[in-house]
Structure 1
Amino acid sequence: MRKEKQYSLKQAKARSTAQAATVFLLPALLLIAIFIVYPVIDTFIISGYKWNGISSDKVFIGLDNWKTLIHDEMFWKSFEHNIIVMVFSILLQIPLGMLLATFLDAGGKKFNLFKVIWFLPYLMSSVAIAFLFTYALATNGGMVSSLATIIHGKKVTVDLLGTAPNALFTVIGVMAWQFTPFYMVYFIAGYGNIDTTIYEAAVIDGATRWQYIKHIAIPLLAPIFKTACIMSLIGSLKYFDMIWNMTQGGPAGSTELMATYMYKLSFQQFSMGYGSTVAAGMFILITAIALLFNKVFKAKEVY
């Protein structure tokens, strides 16, 4: 009898917990379903139609848009640009963020002012940064051209955004300038989770600061590195606003990304069906790369 009573109490507790979880999770799940799941499904549905995005008549064409996408050179060129942006974003933003975080962790509270100053770019709007650097890098009167003129003693024009491949790498540099502070703060949080007694023990054993960082801190930060790389990877494959406001995919498609190409097709050329196919292709490629990256570079967490 007592066992049955205990069993019924466990059942009641489990039921109560499930009900509470449902109540709290339902609003979040509903929002995810409306703003994430439904748009993704609808994008794949629209990709099967020839539609301008405005008129009520849609013409079902099956997989014709997908056949076109497979042979679309501009889409694959845009994907290649996304891969370049992804690689350089990881190689620039994460190591720089790690270096800044290491510097600030070593300085302690004395360097709090640097934390504020270096974090400011991340607080700025990507659109505002795009316009700021567009004017700063202008061929005539821009910061780089003016500096080159002073150095050479005669008028020199430097066109970083109007020539290929300079435009793409210039935009990558601007992206790194904005997003490196995010990874700086991320690694500062990682350093904060490392027990200070570990550093003290390393110092007692005669380890230098560099030896501590190389042999102790970096291995302990391995899960942070993995997560940072995945976030950088996914973010770099979705870039749109900054590059659109700086180059709009030019010159001659040298900075075209999948997102800008999709936007042009859907909202400038009014080819919503094929634009949705490009968006669906983006979704598949980004998901596949993220899963592959997570599998290949799986970091072993240390507790």
Structure 2
Amino acid sequence: MSTVAIGLLWIFLYDPSNGPINQFTSALGLGQFNWLGDPNLAMVAILIVVIWQFSPFYMILFKAAMVGIPEELYESAKIDGANGWKQFLYITFPSLMPTIVTSSVLAIVGSLKAFDIFFIMTGGGPGNATEILGTYMYSQGFVNFNMGYASTIAAVMFLIAFVCVLIIQFIDYKRKKRGILS
């Protein structure tokens, strides 16, 4: 789905007076919440939307990786007396490590370039509670017309993403070199 459509859908769901989520919480006796208007709840509300939006993508990646694990490995482990936990620890988890590394890199880069869902749902508010680098860069560049500063923010975002990816790759390289879970 388009991020704009997702944002508008969840704005409707989070509506403080008529939203289905507040109707559900009221039916449970918890009362109604101003999900996107309360500085303490707004970031959590948007993070729920982001998780809802992207978890199917990562589940498809992990499902594809799990399908690629040879069944013979599990059969051999069963014959050797390995229980389900040991099979997971010594077969499934190591086989999923490349997917875990790829998913980590995608998640970090994706979170640093996030803008649209935050801008659509709250615009960085209330009171800058959901201000992230992307919305801050936008407000500096296109609201305050401070393009140099906005460009610097973009460069810093790139550097943060680059360093995070390097750290993940370095840790993965060291893991492979030591032969741990490879």
> Could you say which TM-score interval applies, normalised by the shorter chain?
0.7 to 0.9
The aligned runs of 1:264-279 (5 Å cut-off) are 264-279=139-154
Considering only aligned residues, what root-mean-square deviation do their CA atoms show, in Å?
2.0
The aligned runs of 1:284-303 (5 Å cut-off) are 284-298=159-173, 299-300=175-176
Q: Is the 8 A contact 2:101 2:168 kept in 1?
A: no
Instruction: Please tell me the residue identity of whatever aligns with 1:263.
Output: Y
SS in 1 for 2:35: coil
Q: How much has 1:253 moved relative to structure 2? A: 0.6
1:183 to 58, 61, 66: 58
Q: How much has 1:208 moved relative to structure 2? A: 3.4
1:224 to 85, 99, 107: 99
Structure 2: which 5+ residue stretches go unaligned?
none
2:41 to 159, 163, 166: 166
Aligned residue in 1 for 2:79? 204
Q: Tell whether 2:19 aligns with 1:150.
A: no
Distance 2:165 2:97 in 1: 17
Aligned residue in 2 for 1:139? 16
Q: How much has 1:151 moved relative to structure 2? A: 2.7
The aligned runs of 1:1-303 (5 Å cut-off) are 124-152=1-29, 156-298=31-173, 299-300=175-176
Q: Is the 8 A contact 1:247 1:255 kept in 2?
A: yes
Distance 1:204 1:288 in 2: 44
Q: How much has 1:297 moved relative to structure 2? A: 4.8
CA deviation map 1:110-159 (0-9, x unaligned): xxxxxxxxxxxxxx111111111111011111122211222339xx4311
SS in 2 for 1:157: coil
Which stretch shows the higher mean deviation, 291-300 or 240-249?
291-300
- The number of equivalent residue pairs is 178
Distance 1:174 1:297 in 2: 30
Distance 1:152 1:227 in 2: 42
Greater gyration radius: 1
Decide whether aligned partners of structure 1 residues 188 and 151 sit closer, same or farther in structure 2, where only a CA change above 3 A counts: closer
Instruction: Please tell me the residue identity of whatever aligns with 1:143.
Output: P
SS in 1 for 2:113: coil
Matched residues, percent identical?
A: 36
Instruction: Please tell me the residue identity of whatever aligns with 1:147.
Output: F
Structure 1: which 5+ residue stretches go unaligned?
1-123
TM-score (normalised: structure 1): 0.55
Distance 1:151 1:180 in 2: 27
TM-score (normalised: structure 2): 0.88
